[in-house]
A and B are shown apart, each in its own frame.
Chain A
């Protein structure tokens, strides 16, 4: 009789992927400006470290929240004992209002429909437990966050079937890709329970367009399935455009309070927008009472620490703080993204034009020896071990085209970013030099043309987005 469960012995946790291996390499040799200037720079971690100072100064001005007091009186005992899985009412109210603010107050969130979870990791898994039987499938556009393999499938037994997106249209979701994925699931004998998207996208750094959102809502309506919109990066939108949530689309299509709206669920977290991944604050928002009820009970397995709920309810209820924070956060992210993009450009590297997120989706196809994933992995190893940058290869995100990499920009200082870019430029120049010598001039021209064409394609595909400077 085998001793441990299949979950232990299988690879379902997904941590043998290069995404995580890169982190391990970083742990062995982490960069430090003074102590280890030749160490590996972490660019594979989508953290937002740009605005801690804003929170710290808020703490200095709000000693009550900081020291578990209310109106000068200690409420330590109540917090120590508070384990109600419905969560703290003020906290959920503050979360709801924060989510509304991020969406320009165009839609409302009812605090009673919020279920707290230990991070969006837990929120996503919980939703899977509520919506899918083992063997049921969810459709996800590729490329997608590598952690989904663990969060959505590992302990739930659910399956992921990819919706293939390609660079030919800036990786946007198309109707034919949706239908193909749906049919592929059927071919595999899997029942499709829904679609899950991250909006804004990880790893693309782009917000879904209204067209795509309409497409998704129409699709789940016709197939009578669910739509989960993981909006964890909703507060990192820095483009000219406003963030359009799936909730906006439901409202605009006048689908609020319909059967369809009960099948649309939003996942949120404070890990990216506020840069607080350590505090483990996630949330599920659903219009379906049964899901709210079941998920609430399941949240017992991962409640948010009461001291954290209390602190953050005070923080998020301070509207002056939240509006200043959101504005400043976006400004800093935008400026940081620009820095990365122009640094990459000077190394002859382009990115998918992004308007959100803590990373860029970088096109290094021209640096591949061959148009294969083996070549991508080779390039990745060179970048990790020789250039000493931990970036995430597209294959770890299930991208169907080799040569794309996710590069994070908000988890380090400006100086570190500049150093990383310098290292990369040096590496590329050495490679190009090598290439220039060995390649025929014909191939050189071909590769230059390819770059120009893809830039043109990007510009065209962005026509339904408001033009923005890069």
Chain B
């Protein structure tokens, strides 16, 4: 013991709690889906029987438009002969305010993505390392360790990491249910708020994604207004992650919280409490470029978040290119219109195909996925165990990687998020065919299927032992759409894999 004291003790060398705990959420059993996909990734010609990735909320539908624009605008790159005269200034530029033109262009794009119904002030635009960085930063600004944020469930799986891991903030879910189509209500928020306060929790705010991930639904303007009134009355913050703002393809216009702030009387909204998180990863399909935005109506938060943005600035090379692209009004207008159209078509084709298999989805008008109702296929109704079993079957037999609802903290078993915009048309049709085949075989041969299932279940028992012992409130955190944790997840098409 003496020598330990002299040497500073064992504890000097050990790593922090953050580094060694599970709060990053990636050690979940739900790795199975990703591992399975990694081992056997689908390719139309090279591996037509492989697993199709439908767990990744990427938007691949309009990359051709962007690619063409880049080709036609070589000046937008600091590396091309046409643009290299700007290279040294841009390569040298690390001001955390960001390029003025970049902020202007982002503000412009955000306004257009909301149909021009609201404008954004470039001075309030703060960069971050993707929406991942933006969400963490806003937590660092609004909450101290131990403070609570209310988050409606089902919610994006990686919020557990982004909002909590290094910040020490706690999430208290506001459970939404299928009884009212998972709609978020003020009553539900009020109830969750009161309950948290009664348990002596320090609630700092409410955070949700709108349009919703994983639901694909948008919040109606009235409810949004009432939520703004609610947070104002109770002096807590409202953070709306509008990362899917431009993925609306049908129905009502998307009402951004910015619109509500504009519409409401100053007595009804304390703007110091309102914050928006944004990103180009979904609307434009550019997750690789790491463009996250914190937009706050609170000057102190803008100032603080800006200083924190040093930890995740957008590469100036990327800022420069996007500044040019997003100030090209005719490109942006066309892009938004085309993107919406293609998403709508893709959504229509997919949901129609699912209907043929008697599978319904939650009615949605946005997002890159559907919230698929497979409750009727559960071996045992209302059982998360059955949800996992069904999920394993979908991976192993139907050969699709989809995301089980429990991974989004959904309280009702049987729902699955299925992405439809991260593949080409042919692949989508293969996926639909597989689903239709599976369902028809399932209904024709129920008896055989049951025994197949049993065999599958038995063979999976070893894996499930661990699961059965764990808490039923499954904490799958891994299946978020950044597609990262499993080593080297890349599209099998990627030439980057050829080295």
Contacts and interface: CB of A to CB of B under 8 A. Distances in A.
Interface string B65-107: 0110011001001011100100110111110000000000000
A85 B487 CA distance: 9
A348 interface: no
B315 A278 contact: yes
B12 A302 contact: no
B315 A307 contact: yes
B307 A49 contact: no
A130 B288 contact: no
Contacts of A130: 15-16, 18-19
B202 interface: yes
Interface string B125-145: 000011011001000111111
Interface stretch (B217-225, B372-380, B386-394, B490-498): B490-498
A426 to B, nearest CB: 29
A351 interface: no
B304 A8 contact: yes
Given A84-B490, A294-B20, A300-B132, A271 B94 contact: yes
B402 interface: no
A389 interface: no
B496 A90 contact: yes
A77 B60 contact: yes
Nearest to B145: A134
B142 A4 contact: yes
A383 interface: no
A47 interface: yes
B312 A8 contact: no
A277 B482 CA distance: 26
B31 interface: no
Interface residues of A, number: 90
A66 B80 contact: yes
A130 to B, nearest CB: 4
B182 interface: no
A8 B300 contact: yes
A271 to B, nearest CB: 7
B144 A5 contact: yes
A82 B81 contact: no
Contacts of B487: 86
Contacts of B115: none
Nearest to A134: B145
B493 A279 contact: no
B91 A82 contact: no
B410 interface: no
B129 to A, nearest CB: 4
Interface string A297-315: 1101111111110010000
**Residue of A85, A222, A300, A306 with most partner-chain B CB within 10 A:** A300
Contact of B308 (A84, A155, A276, A295): A155
Nearest to B203: A1
A301 B136 contact: yes
Contact of A65 (B58, B79, B130, B289): B79
A192 interface: yes
Interface string A327-350: 000000000000000000000000
B130 A303 contact: yes
A191 interface: yes
B362 interface: no
B396 to A, nearest CB: 25
B409 to A, nearest CB: 20
Contacts of A129: 16, 18-19, 166
A80 B66 contact: yes
A445 interface: no
B311 A302 contact: yes
A1 B202 contact: yes
A13 B495 CA distance: 42
A301 B133 contact: yes
Contact of A155 (B130, B140, B273): B140
Interface centre among B9, B272, B316 (most CB of A within 10 A): B316
B94 A85 contact: no
Contacts of A420: none
A196 to B, nearest CB: 14
Interface string A1-35: 10111111100010100000000000000000000
Given A191-B12, A294-B18, A6 B317 contact: no
Contact of B318 (A66, A83, A305): A305
A316 interface: no
Contact of A84 (B19, B66, B79, B484): B484
A80 B63 contact: yes
A81 interface: yes
Contacts of A52: 87-88, 91-92
B165 to A, nearest CB: 8
Contacts of A47: 92
Contacts of A428: none
B67 A276 contact: no
A224 B315 contact: no
Contact of B288 (A8, A79, A118, A295): A79
A74 interface: yes
B27 to A, nearest CB: 10
Contacts of A125: 311
Contacts of A119: 94, 310, 313
A305 B315 contact: yes
Contact of A225 (B13, B145, B162, B311): B13
A6 to B, nearest CB: 6
A132 interface: yes
Given A8-B304, A56-B84, A278-B317, A89 B7 contact: no
A187 B269 CA distance: 49
Contact of A13 (B133, B281, B307, B317): B307
B488 A290 contact: no
B122 interface: no
A249 interface: no
A297 B58 CA distance: 20
A297 B26 contact: yes
A59 B235 contact: no
A78 interface: yes
B11 A275 contact: no
B301 interface: yes
Contacts of A131: 15-16, 19
Given A70-B495, A88-B496, A130-B16, A278 B92 contact: yes
A172 B9 CA distance: 28
Contacts of B12: 191-194, 223-226
A121 interface: yes
Contact of A82 (B11, B129, B490): B490
A416 interface: no
A263 interface: yes
B132 A278 contact: no
B2 interface: no
A307 B288 contact: yes
B173 interface: no
A55 interface: yes
A361 B302 CA distance: 35
B433 interface: no
Contacts of A67: 74, 77, 79-80
24 contacts: A3-B237, A4-B141, A76-B67, A77-B63, A78-B490, A80-B63, A80-B289, A82-B494, A84-B490, A89-B499, A129-B16, A130-B16, A155-B166, A223-B12, A275-B92, A277-B91, A278-B317, A280-B314, A288-B15, A294-B18, A295-B19, A301-B311, A302-B133, A305-B289
Interface of A: 1, 3-9, 13, 15, 47, 49, 52, 55-56, 59-60, 63, 65-68, 70, 73-86, 88-90, 118-119, 121-122, 125, 129-134, 136, 150-151, 155, 191-194, 222-226, 259, 263, 271, 275-280, 288, 290-291, 294-295, 297-298, 300-308, 311
Going nearest first, the 4 A-B pairs with the smallest beta carbon separation are A278-B316, A306-B288, A66-B79, A305-B315
